[in-house]
Amino acid sequence: MAKREPEERADNVSISIAEKLANFYHPSSECCIFRMYDDLRRQNEKAYEPSIVAIGPYHRGKAKLQRMEEYKLWYLQQLLNREKNKSVNEYIMAIKELEERARNCYAETIPLESDEFVEMMLLDGVFIIELFCKSIVPELRDKNDHIFQSVPIGYALRRDLILLENQLPFFILVHLFSMIKTDLDLEIIEIALEFLQHSAPEQKLEAPRRISINNIKHLLHLVHSCWCFEFSEMKRNATEKQLEFINSATELQESGIQFKKAEETNLFDINFTSGILEIPLLTIEPEVGESFFTNIVAFEVCPSYDEPRYVCDYAVFMNCLINSSEDVRILRHSGIIESWVGDDAELYSMWHKLFNITTTDTKNFSYSQVFNDVNNHCKRRRNRWMANLKRNYFNSPWAWISFLAATVLLLLTVAQTIFSILSFGKGSFN
């Protein structure tokens, strides 16, 4: 019996492991919707939390988001009343055929029964499409629809729809849109971008010609692709030299570098020429600010992301410049940053938290040539000498006036001395 006991224990372990292996979830190649890693999420938890609507399973069931669950049902009812030739069962069966593929898009096992999962996909998908269509065609709106009567609700919805953890597989939206009859002569990408137009700072969201509807993973991916496509068209100026980060705006200014707002509309198009660092204007608004940058950077650090990290590179560049609230002040006064979210200290804190979640490839860093040129400029002794002279002796209009007055006085003194010498020599000669 003593020999039998270890064998029984081994059998129990085998059964336990077999059960765990049977229930083990391994992410598929279609996996594209993640939660942010816990320690990185703690850097700025509010930036990942939806404020008004839950899309998908990660934030489903939260008490503060229940009001929009009623809107989801109402929008489905409006759709069915409008599309009388289709029953709710047709939509359910269409989603059911996509259930397994949809589940594979999430990085975690979704603990919902099949019926619950399909219902969630249907309600969320119809809500999003109806929202897009109603925003373009006012005739589709109900007169009691508060979503389109309140500007803050509209901003909150745009923000929530592009959160990393608040996504629906894009093919669900594509399939539902193909089933819904509309008089719109537009594709799903076009109506999505029309609604999300003011979600990204500065640049207008336009779909690049080469974009494929089959390659879009979710709405956040769509916004990222359209926001960054101009930068992807540009020649990335990476170099083979070892990357050396640049100093802060304060230190660069002390080294004689001037900051100038670039006229380019592309936020990422930064150039350095003849001691002048040209950076396009960045406007940080309450609705399009910290949350947008946090989630777009978080998307680039996801395991499924395999393209150049354009926004991460930009975040690293700005974080190098902004090391204190004084650096923010310099960039504001140079017309490079326009902020509507708190003071300089808050903006510094935002970039610091953003940098903490950022990763980038130093060998393919987008601004490595700019960094090299700036650092080489700062290392030249003449540039440092001129900067020190200007900072210590010509740092105000009065200093320049004093210098000019002293120069004029010196020239007059020299002229008087020369005339005296010439007069004395002439007198001696005579």
Measure the CA angle with vertex 313, ends 308 and 318; round to 5°: 165
H or E element in which residue 210 lies = none
Domain that holds residue 198: 38-232
Q: What is the CA radius of gyration of the chain?
A: 31
Torsion sign, CA atoms 299, 305, 310, 315: positive
- Residue 131 and residue 148 share a domain: yes
- Residue 139 and residue 56 share a domain: yes
**Scanning the structure block, which residue is given the tokens 């003449």?**
382
- Interatomic CA distance for residues 274 and 255, integer angstroms: 13
Residue 298 belongs to a domain: yes
pLDDT of residue 266: 82
- Residue 228 and residue 137 share a domain: yes
Residue 329 belongs to a domain: yes
pLDDT of residue 425: 59
pLDDT of residue 362: 84
- Residue 374 and residue 239 share a domain: yes
For residues 105, 106, 112 and 116, what is the CA-based torsion angle, rounded to 10 degrees? -50
- Residue 415 and residue 346 share a domain: no
Which DSSP category does 33 fall into? B
Measure the CA angle with vertex 245, ends 239 and 248; round to 5°: 140
Residue 153 belongs to a domain: yes
- Interatomic CA distance for residues 246 and 330, integer angstroms: 16
- Residue 239 and residue 227 share a domain: no
CB 200 within 8 A of CB 288: yes
Residue 215 belongs to a domain: yes
Q: Going residue by residue through the chain (430 aa), what tens digit of pLDDT does each one get?
A: 555 666 666 666 777 777 666 555 555 678 999 999 888 888 889 999 999 999 999 999 999 999 999 999 999 999 999 988 889 999 999 999 999 999 999 999 999 999 999 999 999 999 999 999 999 999 999 999 999 999 999 999 999 999 999 999 999 999 999 998 767 778 899 999 999 987 877 667 878 777 889 999 999 999 999 888 877 666 555 566 678 899 999 999 988 899 999 987 688 889 999 899 999 998 887 666 789 999 999 999 999 898 889 899 999 999 999 999 999 999 999 999 988 777 888 888 888 888 889 988 888 898 999 999 999 998 874 445 444 444 444 455 555 465 566 666 667 677 777 767 766 655 555 5
Q: Which of the listed residues 182, 207, 232 is the one where a domain comes to its end?
A: 232
- Interatomic CA distance for residues 320 and 246, integer angstroms: 6
- Residue 407 and residue 290 share a domain: no
- Residue 180 and residue 76 share a domain: yes
- Residue 154 and residue 130 share a domain: yes
pLDDT of residue 385: 47
Structure tokens at 321: 């410049």
Q: Which of the listed residues 183, 217, 232 is the one where a domain comes to its end?
A: 232
- Residue 159 and residue 49 share a domain: yes
Residue 145 belongs to a domain: yes
- Residue 207 and residue 69 share a domain: yes
pLDDT of residue 34: 95
Structure tokens at 304: 């499924």
Residue 138 belongs to a domain: yes
Residue 44 CA: distances (Å) to CA of 258, 286, 295, 340: 33, 16, 10, 19
pLDDT of residue 394: 47
CB 312 within 8 A of CB 359: yes
Domain total in the chain: 3
Amino acid at site 79: L
Q: Which of the listed residues 190, 213, 232 is the one where a domain comes to its end?
A: 232
- Residue 200 and residue 177 share a domain: yes
Amino acid at site 379: K
Residue 73, number of CB atoms within 10 A of its CB = 12
For residues 199, 205, 210 and 216, what is the CA-based torsion angle, rounded to 10 degrees? 10
H or E element in which residue 74 lies = helix 66-82
CB 160 within 8 A of CB 51: yes
pLDDT of residue 322: 94
- Cα 53 to chain centroid distance, Å, stands at 20
Torsion sign, CA atoms 53, 104, 31, 214: negative
Residue 353 belongs to a domain: yes
**Scanning the structure block, which residue is given the tokens 């940098």?**
355
Residue 93 belongs to a domain: yes
Write the CB contacts of 281 (distance below 8 Å, at least 6 apart in sequence). 202, 261, 262, 335, 336, 337, 338
Q: What is the largest CA-CA distance in the chain?
A: 140
Query: Which residues lie across from 337 on neighbouring strands?
Result: 282
Measure the CA angle with vertex 331, ends 329 and 334; round to 5°: 110
